[in-house]
A and B are shown apart, each in its own frame.
Chain A
Amino acid sequence: GAGVSQTPSNKVTEKGKYVELRCDPISGHTALYWYRQSLGQGPEFLIYFQGTGAADDSGLPNDRFFAVRPEGSVSTLKIQRTERGDSAVYLCASSFGGPPNTGELFFGEGSRLTVL
């Protein structure tokens, strides 16, 4: 497809488990972003990649969260030892360029994570 693809669309897991969320950006987009969105809130920035490298990971809440983009395309957000507070919709977005000339962000539909 032509848009940003995220899998799984829904993930239910138990507290303490490990979770991986995948993002397939629009082809040719060098910048990739991960956000987390809780009900009634705007997207909260987690991490931004320019190519293969994490250009800004200041939004990752703690060391249980990690993301990779080994070939500069698909990215995986990894959450270790999940906690109930990690429950949210995780959004991925891509764009042609990154800061300071970020243009339109193209978002995926999100991965809804529920930690029981």
Chain B
Amino acid sequence: SQKIEQNSEALNIQEGKTATLTCNYTNYSPAYLQWYRQDPGRGPVFLLLIRENEKEKRKERLKVTFDTTLKQSLFHITASQPADSATYLCALPQISFGAGTTVTVRA
């Protein structure tokens, strides 16, 4: 079955540093991947979509890469801020979400 794995349950970083999150997928060749942010007690909020023919996508301090050979997407938060603290979810279209990586940015 299609499966998504995110690299770790928690990531703690110092303000100003770059957070890098990994999403690996198996048994699927998605046309695109999506990344969402989820705050405690809230529904996920869409951040970025990257298509299979795009190597990299940026939005403000966020950057996403998509490597169809490695079956992997990397999500970067540059110049991190305490307000970036949240859980970040990788998603295959429609069906499968990863368990999420919780990022905590220390001031």
Contact = CB atoms under 8 A, between A and B. Distances in A.
Contacts of B43: 4, 91, 93, 107-110
Nearest to A44: B97
B46 A102 contact: no
Interface size for chain A: under 10, 10 to 19, 20 to 34, or 35 or more residues? 20 to 34
Interface string B38-62: 0001111110010000000000000
Chain A contact residues: over half helix, strand or loop, or mixed?
loop
Interface residues of B, number: 22
B94 interface: yes
B105 interface: no
A96 interface: no
Tell me what chain B mostly uses at the interface: helix, strand, loop, or mixed: loop
Contacts of B94: 33, 45, 48, 56, 98-99, 102
B42 A103 contact: no
Contacts of A109: 41-43
A43 B93 contact: no
A105 B34 contact: yes
B31 A43 contact: no
Given A33-B94, A100-B93, A40 B45 contact: no
Given A104-B49, A105-B34, A45 B9 contact: no
